[in-house]
Amino acid sequence: MKRLKKTYYIHTFGCQSNKSDSERVAGDYEARGYLEAKDWHSCDELIVNTCAIRQRAEDKARGFLHNVVVYFNQQGKRRPKIILTGCMTHHGNDKLYAMLPMVDEILPINEVGFNQAAIRKDSLTAEGKKHAWIPISAGCNSFCTYCIVPYSRGREQSRSFESIMEEVERLVAEGYSEVSLLGQNVNSWGLEKVGIGFRKLMMERKDFTRDDLPENQSQYLTPEGTPPFVKLLQAISAYPQIEKIRFLTSNPWDFHDELIAEIGKNKKIDRFVHLPVQSGSNAVLYRMNRGYTRERYVEVVNKLRAVDPDITIGTDIIVGFAGETDAEFQETVQLAQEMDWKVGFVAIYSPRPGTASWRIYPDDIPHSVKKKRWEVLDQIINKDNLSIRPKIV
Ligand code: SAH
Ligand code: SF4
Ligand code: F3S
């Protein structure tokens, strides 16, 4: 008798990077002959793709695993093989160690790789266009003091131009017309070998050219000093079949003038730009190690609106960061009133074990104050779309 094919099911927590990784994990399973199960109750292998950005995200993953294990115990059935992947699997995560008895295998996220063919579901937009997420980089080198991502996803690693373009070509052949490029900081695509100190200098000195870089690093910039990411946007836009390009996420500190100019003239690039500010207070931004000031953020937004008044901006903000005084919070409130953001993902600060802020700044804002600040900002920024705004307390 022919043996039935084995089945897999992927449960994904977290951000779009995780959702995109899950598409490639699915590709890997299907390439090995597995079929997708309709839910986790009936699969042979269950992959849980985790998020570690805030404590609540980790609690959710643990709660889910607990429910799975309890369910199979109660049914008296053998549970599926449980494979944990995603941002909770990095070494040194105490929560991970506590979950190990419920886990059969760990799949480090970097092993998923960029080049595994993805199984894309939910790829139709409301207008019926085919849309694909394309990872262009993994990891992060920015080390914002509150953030676990540089630890959970490791050092920034850009996917090669050739590999990205091959995927674009395949997508175009399959009838896709919209793409979203994914990276923790897409602006820095292709530049991780140029040290972050040099790149900060590049942004500060407008006359900086590749000749100012040490020879072994100058190869990464184009002769004009154009950031590689701009070249990538131009190369993808050159396909007549590609109608719309989005990218996520951009960091304000290296949002280059040439990128702004490209957005201005290349109307295939979405008119909505997501530009997280995190705080409107320079003192808080400094403690967060964001690498820019409030003034610099406002400058970038003004330049974007100057190249095209139709551009709308979204943001991320953290409230109740370590030591955030009322006066510092009021600076964020005031910025929110000035900026007219289309949408804001407001999050309550959650100290992440192992990060710099967890080590050096006490988490000294009471939860009730954090919650109140969250409500104030959410009301100001998302008042026109309270029904669709993200709830990430
Ligand atoms: N690379 C992106 C952000 C990825 S994390 C960027 O730099 O913009 C998504 C958002 O989660 C961040 O923008 C931040 O607002 C929030 N966040 C990250 N770490 C957090 C923490 N420890 N507590 C609360 N919110 C956090
Ligand atoms: Fe985290 Fe900062 Fe990197 Fe974004 S840029 S992933 S907030 S360290
Ligand atoms: Fe994304 Fe969560 Fe990891 S927000 S990068 S899945 S920590």
- How close is the Cα of 147 to the center of ligand 2, in Å? 6
What does residue 22 show for φ and ψ, rounded to 5 degrees?
-60, -35
Name the closest-CA residue to atom 2, ligand 3.
51
Name the closest-CA residue to atom 2, ligand 2.
144
User: What is the CATH topology of the domain spanning 7-111?
Assistant: Rossmann fold (3.40.50)
Residue 87 in contact with ligand 3 by CB distance below 6 A: yes
- How close is the Cα of 83 to the center of ligand 2, in Å? 26
Write the CB contacts of 267 (distance below 8 Å, at least 6 apart in sequence): none
pLDDT band at 215 (very low <50, low <70, confident <90, very high): low
Closest CA to 42 of 13, 77, 85: 77
Share of the chain above pLDDT 90, in %: 78
Name the closest-CA residue to atom 1, ligand 1.
184
Residue 355 in contact with ligand 1 by CB distance below 6 A: no
The answer to whether domain 122-270 and domain 307-393 are alike in fold is yes
Q: How far is CA 358 from CA 52, 93, 164, 184, 354, in A?
A: 14, 14, 36, 21, 7
Given a cut of 80, whether residue 193 has pLDDT beyond it is no
Closest ligand by atom to 13 CA: 3
pLDDT score for 268:
98
Helix (H) or strand (E) holding 346: strand 343-348
Closest CA to 311 of 259, 272, 340, 267: 272
Q: Rounded to whole angstroms, how far apart are CA atoms 11 and 18?
A: 10
User: Closest ligand 3 atom to the C-alpha of 49?
Assistant: 6
**238 vs 216 pLDDT, higher one:** 238
Residue 53 in contact with ligand 1 by CB distance below 6 A: yes
Pocket test for ligand 1, best of 318, 332, 371 (most atoms within 8 A of CB): 318
Q: Is 103 exposed, middle or buried (0-12, 13-18, 19+ CB in 10 A)?
A: middle
Q: Rounded to whole angstroms, how far apart are CA atoms 331 and 93?
A: 34
Closest ligand by atom to 15 CA: 3
Ligand 2 site residues (CB inside 6 A) read 140, 142-144, 147, 149-150, 184-185, 251
307-393 CATH choice from 1.10.540.10, 3.30.750.200, 2.60.200.20, 2.160.20.10 = 3.30.750.200
Q: How far is CA 112 from CA 57, 106, 138, 353, 365, in A?
A: 21, 12, 11, 25, 38
pLDDT band at 192 (very low <50, low <70, confident <90, very high): confident
pLDDT score for 387:
56
Q: 77-88: per-residue pLDDT in tens? A: 999 999 999 999
pLDDT band at 109 (very low <50, low <70, confident <90, very high): confident
Q: 117-154: per-residue pLDDT in tens? A: 999 988 999 999 999 999 999 999 889 999 999 999 99
Q: 18-57: per-residue pLDDT in tens? A: 999 999 999 999 999 999 999 999 999 999 999 999 999 9
- How close is the Cα of 317 to the center of ligand 2, in Å? 12
User: Closest ligand 3 atom to the C-alpha of 57?
Assistant: 2
Every domain of the chain and the residues it spans: 7-111, 122-270, 307-393
Summary mean pLDDT of the chain: 91
User: What is the CATH topology of the domain spanning 122-270?
Assistant: Transcription Regulator spoIIAA (3.30.750)
User: Closest ligand 2 atom to the C-alpha of 143?
Assistant: 8
Given a cut of 90, whether residue 275 has pLDDT beyond it is yes
Write the CB contacts of 346 (distance below 8 Å, at least 6 apart in sequence): 316, 317, 318, 319, 374, 377, 378, 381, 382, 392
Q: Rounded to whole angstroms, how far apart are CA atoms 214 and 199?
A: 12
pLDDT score for 218:
62
Label the pairing between strands 312-319 and 131-135. unpaired
pLDDT score for 110:
83
- How close is the Cα of 146 to the center of ligand 1, in Å? 8
pLDDT score for 356:
96
pLDDT score for 393:
40
Closest ligand by atom to 142 CA: 2
**114 vs 384 pLDDT, higher one:** 114
